[in-house]
Homo-oligomer: A and B are copies of this chain.
């Protein structure tokens, strides 16, 4: 029989951590308290607002420096970045691509754009990301290695790549996943859309894949309005990545020739100008967001039935979105908690609907997804903006003064 469960302590703890002054608290909102305006104005004054311009190359250079990944190509968004990475990885129509079922739909959609088929893998409760050990065991059973690659014995299709996603900023356990990729001849593409600034064993997420992807959508830790990037240490790839993202136009002072079906995927200069300013603030945002996560962890210690998800030992997470996990026996309370919090102006949300449950992907191949399904039932994202740390301090001081 289900235990009776009181949600009030959870609400009260959230209220304790979050600023009282605001009417409603977003899940994640950006801050523009750096040189955003100065750079955007400079960009407008230069007349170069489109995909050719100095901020695009500057942003790429600065992203390379920050992440330690050699080559960066700035694009219109993370979805576009994934699409190009899959093509560069050699994913072709009819291939399968492994990915977690617990991800945002863009990961699966990008595979569809290539005419390929997503193949869903389970999650690791230590990281919320793809479980490399379970994946290795599964592939041992279902695949056959041929000279043309790794084949799914059941579907007959080639499995070409794996796309781990660093969920809510928490790095996947990459070393064992690399082993799996090597063993089965799979190309590793890291979907680091949510993990800008997150490290795995001291290196930036995205450093292990042959290719990786960042996103700078408005809800991310830093934003360019809409934007994304392709990252790679493989020097054979950036020229083709740039070519594919610029309609495959061959360089010439005036002639228009194209040698491939390309895309209009380059990031406009005005968005890159915003990105350069945001990137300068990233270390501060990470500090603020990690402080907020710690605050949540402390505040929820001893609260019955829930815990705040903590980064693994090998990880330094950007804590993009904080995760509150209900104990298994209380998962039935998830929707009630979502309703209560949202009604009170504290924006929360559940995990994305798992990919294998979406109508367009329900027939795709998959392993047992028990951990992901368990996480989906129990997981709630809670407000995580960097600004909440400082607002809260301001707010506490203010309250003390009024009380004093």
Q: Which residues of A are interface residues toward B (Cβ below 8 A)?
A: 29-32, 36-37, 40-41, 44-45, 47-52, 76-80, 104-106, 109, 112-113, 115, 217-219, 223, 225-226, 247-249, 253-264, 266-271, 274, 338, 342, 347-353, 358-360
Contact = CB atoms under 8 A, between A and B. Distances in A.
A56 B47 CA distance: 22
A350 B252 CA distance: 12
A257 B261 CA distance: 31
Contact of A258 (B254, B259, B360): B360
Nearest to A262: B109
Contacts of A30: 47, 49
A350 B255 contact: yes
Contact of A105 (B79, B219, B255, B258): B258
B274 A271 contact: no
A76 B106 contact: no
Given A109-B261, A268-B226, A270-B271, A256 B349 contact: yes
B32 A47 contact: yes
A41 B37 contact: yes
B50 A44 contact: no
Contacts of A360: 258-261
Nearest to A93: B115
B256 A218 contact: no
B350 A254 contact: yes
Contact of A106 (B217, B247, B359): B247
A255 B353 contact: yes
Contacts of A347: 254
Contacts of A342: 253-254
A348 B255 CA distance: 10
A106 B51 contact: no
16 contacts: A37-B41, A40-B270, A50-B226, A51-B226, A77-B264, A79-B247, A80-B264, A104-B256, A109-B262, A225-B268, A226-B264, A254-B342, A256-B351, A258-B360, A259-B360, A261-B360
Contacts of A259: 358-360
A225 B31 CA distance: 22
A102 to B, nearest CB: 11
Given A105-B258, A106-B264, 16 more contacts: A32-B49, A50-B218, A51-B217, A76-B76, A76-B77, A77-B264, A79-B263, A79-B264, A105-B262, A109-B261, A218-B269, A226-B267, A226-B271, A256-B350, A257-B358, A259-B358
A40 B268 CA distance: 15
Contacts of A223: 49-50
Nearest to A360: B261
Contacts of A349: 254-256
A116 to B, nearest CB: 12
A342 to B, nearest CB: 6
Nearest to A108: B261
Contacts of A29: 47
Contact of A225 (B219, B247, B270, B351): B270
The 10 A-B pairs of least Cβ separation, nearest first, read A50-B218, A225-B268, A79-B264, A226-B268, A254-B349, A225-B270, A256-B352, A49-B225, A112-B261, A77-B264
B270 A358 contact: no
B52 A218 contact: yes
Which residue among A79, A105, A115, A260 has the maximum number of chain B CB atoms within 10 Å of its CB? Answer: A105
Given A50-B223, A219-B50, A350-B255, A247 B76 contact: no
Contact of A109 (B37, B247, B338, B351): B247
